[in-house]
Chain A
């Protein structure tokens, strides 16, 4: 990018405290990702954090598993939309706010609220979806675009949530293939996204 048009990519305003981070050496994190909060943000090996993704550890630890993809404008650890729900969640001070398993994809603009929220291995959180505080999403689930998982809800493994909350079980048995596909995607993204983990250290 030429220096003349630097204004095209506005600088990211880093507000709030800088969190302690625990990065694997093999992750790819874009320069313009936003990390805020006071608790530790852990990102395990080969995960990819896109530009403008937001990880907020103000309410507790944020843990991202191996080979996860957090796309642009996704928010992990957002303050709960309903404060009462947050009170119901375990209020332990150092509790985990958000835990992503391995092979999790959080797509554009999705929001995962803080408060002991767990997302299982191989789950895809679709564009603009919202996972409430304390919800536990099982393994290999698919939350399609704009779906909402209520606070504290437990979603069983292999659930597909679509069309304003309709549910069905994914019986295709393609979890292994999906994980392999995601690994390929990560290989490509590692080359495309300039990584700068040192900025957050």
Chain B
């Protein structure tokens, strides 16, 4: 017992993902992590809410007989994403041709999701910063280099163009990301500061 190395707070995978042991990942087989992604404790990802648009066909059991397995990815996350403590990612769902189905939640690279935020977007681009306690409504589309401030409530189906800053309840466009402000979206340094042997924050 004493010879075993102490179990760290995080599970670090070969591709550099750092997943907290206390994170709640439901339906892990449907969650794709791009690598170097940090998932902090108390994060919840609903991978079990998969697409069912073909499930209306005679029977779902026939899918395995047809050869290629259906792509059931519910949540896909790019590289260097940072999911802070207590946030929740769940795929958006809606009626499609009279059948209720969940749609995949796609997230690009360098996406920061603040603590306590709930994200139900259809797609999130790269270099997006979502503040603390924000809510991103169902089927919102967030393009690249977007900053969503703390406590913002992005209404369902909203499309946020690139380089926008949004805030408020409901969220409105309040500004643009300045020319020199793109470096701030990089999450490589933040990635190094968490894990089982965290590095100090660079000055």
Give me the interface of A with B, judged by CB distance under 8 Å: 1, 5, 7-10, 32, 51-52, 72-73, 108-109, 126-128, 144-146, 162-164, 181, 184-185, 187-188, 191-193
Contact = CB atoms under 8 A, between A and B. Distances in A.
Given A1-B28, A146-B169, A128 B21 contact: no
B104 interface: no
The 6 A-B pairs with the shortest beta carbon distances in the complex, nearest first, are A184-B100, A145-B135, A145-B153, A185-B100, A188-B100, A127-B135
B26 A51 contact: yes
Interface stretch (B43-51, B123-131, B184-192, B194-202): B43-51
B24 A184 contact: no
Contacts of B105: none
A108 B90 contact: yes
Interface of B: 11, 19, 21-26, 28-29, 44, 46, 48-50, 52, 55, 88, 90, 93, 95, 98-102, 116, 118, 120, 133, 135, 137, 151, 153, 155, 168-170
Contacts of B118: 108-109, 127-128, 145
B95 A192 contact: no
Contacts of A52: 24, 44
A90 B68 CA distance: 60
B93 A185 contact: yes
Contact of B26 (A9, A127, A162): A9
B135 A191 contact: no
A60 to B, nearest CB: 28
A73 B137 CA distance: 17
Given A1-B29, A145-B118, A184-B98, 13 more contacts: A5-B28, A10-B24, A72-B44, A72-B88, A109-B116, A109-B118, A145-B169, A146-B133, A146-B135, A162-B170, A181-B100, A188-B93, A193-B48
Contacts of B49: 192
A7 B25 CA distance: 10
B72 to A, nearest CB: 11
A115 to B, nearest CB: 25
A1 B93 CA distance: 24
Contact of A163 (B48, B88, B102, B169): B169
15 contacts: A5-B28, A8-B11, A9-B28, A10-B24, A51-B24, A72-B88, A72-B90, A108-B90, A128-B118, A128-B135, A144-B153, A144-B170, A184-B100, A191-B52, A192-B49
Given A10-B21, A51-B24, A109-B88, A73 B44 contact: yes
Contacts of B21: 7-8, 10
Contact of B169 (A108, A164, A191): A164
A8 B25 contact: yes
B23 A8 contact: yes
Nearest to B100: A184
> Taking each of B25, B93, B135, B155, which has the highest tally of chain A beta carbons within 10 Å of its own beta carbon?
B135
Contacts of B95: 181, 184
Contacts of B24: 9-10, 32, 51-52
Contacts of A128: 118, 133, 135
A133 B50 CA distance: 35
Contacts of B133: 128, 146
